[in-house]
Structure 1
Amino acid sequence: MSASRPRLVDTSVTRGGIGGIALRGEELALTVFPEAGGKILDLVHRPTGFNFLWHNPRVELQKTYAGALFDDLWCGGWDELFPTDGRCEVDGNTYHDHGDLWIGPWEWEVERDDGSSAVLYMRRYSTSLPCLMERWISLERAGAVVEVRYRLANFGARPVRFVWNVHVAHAITTDSRLHLPARRLGVQPPYLGRAEGNAGDVSWPWYEDRDGVGHDLSRMPPVESGLTEFFFTRDLEDGWCAVTYPSAGVGLALTFDRIIFRNVWLFCVYGGWRGHYLLLTEPSTSEPGSLADNVASGLAAVLEAGSALETEVRATVLTGVASDIPGGVSPAPVAALRGAFR
């Protein structure tokens, strides 16, 4: 009789005294912390040891609580922002900074761990809306893909309006490249960066400023630039975005349903905001701003009473990434990346 295969799930993980859950395959490992707002803190390519997710060097992982400012407790990683980005009031209700799913613990259970694959189930009720967010995080032993299946249910008697972002903080280096199937980006003040002085949208990936200086927005300026840029897609052509790391030979692609996540927000920090160096890609149901802003513009997502929304986001590790892969619109012609976005 052959020996059973080792399990993929480890529920004994701790970080700074906070309990976590690790899912470890042969190619990919991730660590989730239900007690810290359900955060995915690590997403590691095991053959190289490369962690795709950014960690705040000045803020340790900690339990979250109502009334805290998200930015002051944010230690990086992958979070779910719902039902708003910025703090606001709508119809007399107050909505927390960056929503309420990051506040407090998520319930969880291991649904499968049979040696070949693992599924971690998690759920969290919104405190501001009659909604339940459920996640199923799946990993195959030999796979290089993390699948996150979502179910968002409105168990109330009336429709709810919301903003939902899949908030992924990428670690970056100066040779990192951003890939995005778009031609135009909106610019969100006050974080103008290389678009300073521009009167409207900018072209992607190549943008020429008012002085005639060209900028490749898919490339990362050094931390010494002190820049912060906040863009969002105006014409997302397909449901994916990716960050590649030629020096490490790897990349990370996020794929999602473009009908649900209509835009990608890009919060690009090159030594500016709080002195950090990172790139946030945020597939979003709406445009930058709070729930109140999106209600006023008619761009808030709506979930009818008694209904549920189901979707999936896949994080795929790309390998064989070469130094001559261009950033910008689409790396699809490059063999190393082909197939990750279909």
Structure 2
Amino acid sequence: MEVTRNGPVLVLRGGDLCVHVRPGRGGRIDRLFHGPSGGFQPVFVSGTACRTPRPGDAFEEHDTCGLDDGFPTLLRETVELPDGPVVYPDHGEIWSTPMEWRQDGDALTLFMESRLLPYQYEKTLRLKRDCLHLHWRIRNTGRYAFPCLWTFHGLFRYSPDLRVRLPESDGNGALCTCANPRLGPEGTRLRRTSLLEHVPEPVPPTAEKFWLLGRVRQGRCALEYPAEGMAVVLTYDPAQLPYLGFWVTAGGFKGEYNCALEPSTGWYDSVDCARRQGCCPVLEPGQEQSFSMTIRVCPLTQAEKEAFA
């Protein structure tokens, strides 16, 4: 894998892919080009100028785009810890924190030490053929445990014909967590139907979010772009990332058009919500969380051969 620097962006090239990574923004992945298809690029690009965020900023005040990591929460909240209350920032701390980086052979590793909580954070990227391989390590370096959620907050392009491929889950349905005309009020329980596999029309503008009920049975989900003949497939260990959310805005949030498959360690969106459901991990002193994910960019026909039963 070749790594070059273009201003604030690291450009990774290997196999069929070219990936743009921004260390100054928590290792955000800005672009993901698939060369053999003629440059298919599924990552959402907002077009808003990128400015340097300050700790504690609201996520929506900045360029809401790219593939980010949400940790230790998604929703801003105050969490009581042994040394007193700590405010977990909106969409977590990683997206607004500059990272150091190093290249080790075919791997690019980004790393940082938190100023919010006692932990070290590391993300490693590798390219092979049509896949981006990602591995994360989070280690508690302090003397007390703290609750935390890790969520893959990857914003991909919206398309009216987009199809969402979701795994089966123990709850055999989903919970609507963002009121909207198509899915209903917040808190609506949704049956497992084709409704969840299709995104809303772009008129009128709308935004939706739901979480699958219970743990997923497969660590596999996908976005299919029929008009372009391409697909993006996420694979991971469901024991490590047992919960899955899905977000889509068709002009309903900041006038933007994107969507996100959100594999997560907890259910759902905040430490408080996850605690009430008994689904909130706690990172003990000296303990390390680690998990991996593969993002595959491939022709739709190839993805269909590996479709869910």
TM-score of the pair, normalised by structure 2 = 0.90
Partner of 1:105: 98
Q: List aligned pairs for 1:260-299, cutoff 5 A.
A: 260-299=240-279
Q: Which amino acid aligns with 1:150?
A: W
Partner deviation per Cα, 1:149-208 (whole Å, 9 max, x = no partner)? 11111111222210110111111211111000134111113x3341125873112333xx
Question: Is 2:305 aligned against 1:338?
Answer: yes
Q: Give the CA RMSD over aligned residues.
A: 2.1
Matching residue's letter, 1:109: R
Match of residue 51 from structure 1? 41
Structure 2 match to 1:204: 192
1:327 aligned partner:
none
Distance in 2, Cα, partners of 1:187 & 1:220:
14
Task: Establish whether residue 185 from structure 1 lines up as the match of residue 179 from structure 2.
Answer: no
2:145 to 134, 151, 159: 159
Matches within 5 A, 1:25-174: 25-47=14-36, 48-57=38-47, 59-91=48-80, 92-112=85-105, 118-140=106-128, 143-174=129-160
1:194 lines up with 2:194 in the alignment: no
Aligned equivalents of 1:192, 1:285: Cα separation in 2: 26
1:315 to 295, 304, 307: 295
Query: Are the counterparts in 1 of residues 233 and 303 from structure 2 also a CA contact under 8 Å?
Result: no
Deviation at 1:234, TM superposition (A): 0.9
Cα distance in 2 between the residues matched to 1:184 and 1:94: 32
How far apart are the structure 1 equivalents of 2:16 and 2:173? 35
Q: Deviations over 1:270-316 (max 9, x none)?
A: 22122221111111111233223323443211222111122111101
CA contact (8 A) 2:176 2:187 kept: no
| Higher deviation after alignment, 93-102 or 284-293 | 284-293
- State the SS of the aligned residue for 2:124: strand
Letter in 2 for 1:50: F
Matched-pair contact (CA < 8 Å) for 1:169–1:278: yes
Separation (CA, whole Å) in 1 of partners of 2:186 and 2:134:
38
- What residue is the counterpart of 2:225 in the other structure? 245
2-structure distance, mates of 1:105, 1:307: 24
Question: Any conservation in 2 of the 1:83–1:163 contact (CA below 8 Å)?
Answer: yes
Equivalent position SS for 2:53: coil
Taking a change above 3 Å as real, the CA distance of residues 199 and 230 of structure 1, as seen in their structure-2 partners, is closer
Partner SS state of residue 50, structure 1: coil
Q: Structure 1 segments of 4 or more deviating over 4 A?
A: none
**Which has more radius of gyration?**
1
Secondary structure (helix, strand or coil) at the match of 2:274 reads helix
Distance 1:157 1:199 in 2: 38
**Contact kept? 1:30, 1:41, Cα under 8 Å:** yes
Distance 2:291 2:307 in 1: 18
Sort the Cα spacing of 1:198 and 1:107 in 2 relative to 1 into closer, same or farther, 3 A: closer
The one-letter code of the counterpart of 1:180 is L
Alpha-carbon spacing, 1:77–1:135, altered in 2? closer, same or farther (3 Å): same
Q: Which runs of 5+ in 1 are unaligned?
A: 1-6, 113-117, 207-215, 323-334
Look up the match of 1:227: 206
SS in structure 2 opposite 1:102?
helix
Q: 8 Å contact 1:61–1:75 — kept in the other structure?
A: no
